[in-house]
Amino acid sequence: MNTVTRAHVVKLPEGVTTEKLGRDVFNTTYYPKGEDVDMSRKPWVVVDAAGLRLGRLSTYVATYLRGGNSPSYSPSFNMGCNVIVINAADVVVTGKKFEEKLYYNQGVRGKPGSMKVETYRSLHGRMPERVVERAIRGMLPKNRMGRETFTHLKVYAGSEHPHAAQSPQDVTADCMRATHKANQCDLESCAPQ
């Protein structure tokens, strides 16, 4: 088999020429392969939501779910972790959200009068996990990948979870450092009791 190499001439000042032999391997953009997003190798992390603000916690968890904390992050791949959120019943909201925040549910799609409205107080009292799940789901992409990424989130109202066999890494301290401003409180006074 006869192979032909192509030499590309780069335009330089008069009298100077340089041959380029093949592609530049050091000037390429990284794009993850299929084995980079292997589901069986995804790490597990746990976040204790006690005393953390709902929105700030949600952005932090959504970043971990999508893999934004990874140096090899690519938005078109699901490269994130499996995230466990515990103590969802102890999450905090600020301002008047406890009384005035509303959650809308479509009962039967397309039927008039089927929409159900529920306040934060009643949903938090009935199912505190659902409050955290809905906040995090709203921060994920609204497509097929977002729905698949959401399946890697596990939320529990109490401090117990059935995923001890996966030996999850606790990232609560990192979450508190990322979500609390230094001038508002120090980590010891904001830590859950």
Class (C level, CATH) for 44-179: alpha beta
Of 157, 150, 159, the residue nearest 131 (C-alpha): 157
DSSP string, 168-192: PEE-HHHHHHHHS-TTT--HHHHS-
How confident is the model over 96-135, as pLDDT tens digits? 999 999 999 887 777 788 888 999 999 999 999 999 999 9
How confident is the model over 35-58, as pLDDT tens digits? 777 777 889 999 999 999 999 999
Write down the pLDDT at residue 27.
73
Evaluate if pTM is beyond 0.75: yes
Of 120, 125, 131, 50, the residue nearest 91 (C-alpha): 50
Domain boundaries, the chain: 44-179
